[in-house]
């Protein structure tokens, strides 16, 4: 089990983006950097790599590599619209702190 939850809002947005961009999957990766130590990277892609984990929710596809998954296991991927705009948001219970915009975190 991948232990990563994709909300209905996120799945709906992934499907919407896949129709506009002709790229079918949302890739989530975590890299070193950002103001808190680790940074979330999200991008639409048209194919997965051999060792990617593929998560399916309501016909929406999310792909993630094992190293990134280890850092965000137990997280929820959501799509939110608020005062600072609309965006994918990762609610990571492992994060001990995060930046104001939610794109970087520390463990």
Write the DSSP string, 23-78.
Answer: --EEEEEEEEETTTEEEEEEEEES---TT-EEEEETTEEEEE-HHHHHHHTT-EEE
The kind and range of the H/E element at 12 are: helix 8-21
pLDDT at residue 5, rounded to an integer: 94
> pLDDT value at position 85?
82
The pLDDT of residue 104: 54
Report d(CA 86, CA 22) in Å as an integer.
20
- Over residues 47-71, the pLDDT tens digits come to 999 999 999 999 999 999 999 999 8
Task: Determine contact, residues 77/92, Cβ cutoff 8 Å.
Answer: no
For residue 12, is it within any domain?
yes
Q: What CATH number did the domain enclosing 38 receive? A: 2.60.300.12
Q: Which domain holds residue 54?
A: 5-95
Q: Does residue 100 lie within any of the structural domains?
A: no
Is 79 a member of any domain? yes
Residues of the chain where predicted confidence (pLDDT) is lower than 70: 1-2, 34-36, 97-107
In a domain, 40, yes or no: yes
The domain total for the chain is 1
Q: What's the pLDDT score for residue 96?
A: 72
Q: Does residue 55 sit within a domain? A: yes
Residue 104 lies in a domain: no
């Amino acid at each position: 089990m991948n232990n990563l939850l994709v909300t209905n809002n996120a799945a709906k947005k992934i499907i919407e983006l896949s129709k506009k961009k002709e790229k079918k999957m949302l890739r989530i990766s975590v890299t070193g950097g950002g103001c808190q130590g680790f940074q979330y990277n999200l991008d639409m892609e048209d194919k997965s790599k051999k060792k990617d984990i593929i998560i399916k929710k309501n016909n929406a596809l999310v792909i993630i590599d094992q190293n990134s998954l280890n850092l965000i296991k137990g997280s929820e991927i959501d799509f939110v619209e608020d005062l600072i705009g609309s965006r994918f948001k990762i609610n990571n219970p492992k994060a001990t702190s995060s930046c104001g915009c939610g794109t970087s975190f520390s463990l």
